[in-house]
Structure 1
Amino acid sequence: MTSAPFPRIVATDLDGTLLASDGTVSPRTRKALQAARAAGAEIVFVTARAPRGVREVARQAGVNGTAICSNGALVYDLAADEVVGSSPLAPETARKVAEALARALPSAGLAVETGTNVLAEAAYTRRVAQDIAAYREVASVFDADQPIVKLLAMSPAHTADEMYQAVADEVGDLAEVTYSGTEGLLEISAAGVNKASTLDRFCRERGIGAGEVVAFGDMPNDLAVLLYAGMGYAMANAHPLVLAAAPRRTLSNDEDGVAAVLEALLP
């Protein structure tokens, strides 16, 4: 009896999944990723992060292929340090979404991820420490004439779950609304643009089927990928919605859950 072939794609989220809680790639995880590459798999980061937030992770992990960034809105060639695909939110649609957000969550502050910077209005007070140089304060995110890779909405008074429940019906099919943490932050992309849709296109372009993909994630923005992949693993530390819906489960990010699965799959 021969063992099943190793997956052709290892698609992994970063924060709360591949990375330990201190933001690093453990030696065990790096070794497992290198072994997966040696077995013929391509490692694809599938993350809410913009390209600037992926470069150092790729260096630590020894990965130089493709990253699907900003929840699927950008495809980033790590080796070339170049964005090779973009699916931004149309400005007129973003304005309609902002109006819907204002009706549902009047106190929410807005920002825009451009792929290079974060343009933040005064009410958007969230700052990511390692990304602080990328923030630019603006009177209105719609006056900057920059690509809207993601529209961001934050409310310190709510959790992300509460915000999603409040705005989902208001936004409807105008855009894709998701979140990648429990704090009060929503991430909004163009309709039909999410991690899974971009990963599917990436795989189809290479003649790779969903059954040849193993995927890892921990948050609601990962769930579509976990359901798409032939083998989708939720981390033990995942959001309750993900744990309830994902087909499989592995150890937590701090227990090298990604590495544990890859080691078991390796021939």
Structure 2
Amino acid sequence: MSTGTFPRIVATDLDGTLLSSAGTVTARTRQALQAARAAGAEIVFVTARAPRGVVEIARQAGVTGTAICSNGALVYDVATDEITASSPLAPETARKVIEALTQALPGVGLAVETGRNVLAEAAYTRRVEHDLASYLEVQSVFDGGRPIVKLLALSPAHTADEMYAAVAEAIGDLAEVTYSGVEGLLEISAAGVTKAVTLDRLCAERGVAAGDVVAFGDMPNDLAVLLYAGAGYAMGNAHPRVLSAAGHRTLTNDEDGVAVVLENLLAGR
């Protein structure tokens, strides 16, 4: 980004990044986002969350417009509550991925994010308290033929880093494997589907160059976005892989790290 110019897109992760550890948007962060919008920037949430997990955050932040959800598999219009683009994992590919998962991680629990619900097999015991109404218990994640927006793999006996190391080579280029902060949980999308790829498509539609994007994130699923953007900021609380690879660093999410950067950019215009 050129000195004295303000980014055209502010692309930010939510959990561990924009949100405090209490899961809220602070007054300082909301004010910084509103000032960025007034300066001409579009605020784009780029998150592992499904659309239903974005609505309340958008309200707190005073943000409307487009959100990139489910690690890039969905594009969501916040104002109209419409999913405008979807890139699901093909069922036949999902079966191959599951075979690799169960061989590498015996006893792994499986669930599927459909975009509107979570289909959870018995061994998938994780539940997000504010999202309980969206869980459907199924014998198999393939029940009902619903879209596999994101395949979720849970192994409470392992860290996400351990799981990734165990399955990444076996899955190879069948699908995108990543994780976003929940221990023992991998998130798997269709091959070529990442936050960065979907953000690039959105930028192209708007005629925005990557150099005119500032991005924020904290976990491995954010890294491609941070490397794509003209200025990519790792949060002070970020995963070691992100801290070592990102070009810039800010304060932690609980220190309003996103707001601090935006305030400084606004002051330097």
TM-score range, shorter-chain basis?
Answer: over 0.9
Q: Distance in 2 between matches of 1:260 and 1:144?
A: 46
The aligned counterpart of 1:205 is: 205
The aligned counterpart of 1:119 is: 119
Paired AA for residue 10 in structure 1: V
The aligned counterpart of 1:35 is: 35
How much has 1:107 moved relative to structure 2?
A: 1.4
Paired AA for residue 135 in structure 2: Y
Paired AA for residue 23 in structure 1: G
Q: Distance in 1 between matches of 2:87 and 2:202?
A: 13
Q: TM-score, normalised by structure 1?
A: 0.98
The aligned counterpart of 2:48 is: 48
Kept after mapping to 2: 8 A contact 1:161/1:182 = no
Is the counterpart of residue 133 in structure 1 residue 133 in structure 2? yes
Aligned alpha-carbon RMSD (Å) = 0.9
The aligned counterpart of 2:10 is: 10
Q: CA-to-partner distance for each residue in 1:78-119, whole Å, 9 max, x for gaps?
A: 111111010000111111100110111111110000000000
Q: Distance in 2 between matches of 1:184 and 1:264?
A: 37
Identify which range, 136-145 or 37-46, moves more after superposition. 136-145
The aligned counterpart of 2:236 is: 236
The aligned counterpart of 2:99 is: 99
How much has 1:167 moved relative to structure 2?
A: 0.2
Are the structure 2 counterparts of residues 182 and 52 from structure 1 closer, same or farther at C-alpha, using a change threshold of 3 Å? closer
Paired AA for residue 197 in structure 1: V
Percent identity reads 79
The aligned counterpart of 2:61 is: 61
How much has 1:143 moved relative to structure 2?
A: 2.1
Q: CA-to-partner distance for each residue in 1:226-248, whole Å, 9 max, x for gaps?
A: 00000000000000110011110
How much has 1:252 moved relative to structure 2?
A: 0.2
Matches within 5 A, 1:216-227: 216-227=216-227
**Can you give the 5+ residue segments of structure 2 that lack an aligned partner in the other structure?**
none
Q: TM-score, normalised by structure 2?
A: 0.98
Is the counterpart of residue 174 in structure 1 residue 162 in structure 2? no
How much has 1:4 moved relative to structure 2?
A: 2.1
How much has 1:52 moved relative to structure 2?
A: 0.2
Paired AA for residue 203 in structure 1: C
Paired AA for residue 164 in structure 2: Y
Paired residue secondary structure (2:84): strand
Q: Distance in 1 between matches of 2:141 and 2:106?
A: 16
* Runs of 4+ residues over 3 Å off in structure 1: none
Paired residue secondary structure (1:110): strand
How much has 1:3 moved relative to structure 2?
A: 5.0
Q: Distance in 1 between matches of 2:107 and 2:158?
A: 10
